[in-house]
Structure 1
């Protein structure tokens, strides 16, 4: 019984990780879990690790001070960009990328992407996200999850972790980028943009 109590007292408790994606400069004070945002156009990001007792992240900006709560353990994303972030969990699968798509599959991709851009297809169950500016969202209980920002590509290959599992990776784009990519796809495929 004493050993169990000692282990509980020494364990780190619930861990929370917050990935901040911002438009402008950000300065992080790890001790107070405070972020100071200087608005701008350049993309910047930072990671903050919170303990169980930390309620969340405080953001100070010219608009004032806001607290973004992190109620339980896991990985969160905090959108301090001036645009909506649209993202999803990357499914690496076992079969690789298909060599071709049917018209029906292409129509389904276009339709679901248009819905996601409009915030209609986002869900925790599907691991798809529509994150308005100045909002925070818990993505997963896995604190080892990786988040890829709008300006980096998904890795071409990944290695399994020590447990033999595929890593949990989430890719985010701005709504503007997603619209441009969708329009390029529609034009390339000779589709009607209605």
Structure 2
């Protein structure tokens, strides 16, 4: 996990302040806390939401590396109206069942690069491919394999969190500062 562990440590720790709010949340995180998570998952809060992201995703990536895919997935959410906006795009394209499965606590239905291309369009995928240093098809497949897990981790309670944009923005800020 390397890069992601460091990123999460900063989002949860020093970059956001060490003090916890009375409700168990972290400052600026709308009550997301670090309390124990769901059975079988270590920790909670943002660690649970994003922890482990990239364990299998992006193993064959080009120049972008694992950190590149994490940043690109966060940017994808940010640039498409947040988590709700991106899920809405999947629903409008006829893939609402898949998108809904990522939010729910059950099994995540997979998508492939062709579906992602249909939903996002070639312009976004061309930019992603350039950032990762691979073909559009490879980039679409990499993002398609990781996106369900990202959405699933951002919705541990089976519903869209009200602060998902804050989580994405803070994680991107840390990545853009080079992990500092």
Higher relative contact order (CA 8 A, sep 6+): 2
TM-score (norm 1): 0.25
User: If each structure's helix is expressed as a fraction of its own residues, which one has the higher value?
Assistant: 2
Q: Which has the larger radius of gyration?
A: 1
User: If each structure's strand is expressed as a fraction of its own residues, which one has the higher value?
Assistant: 1
TM-score (norm 2): 0.26
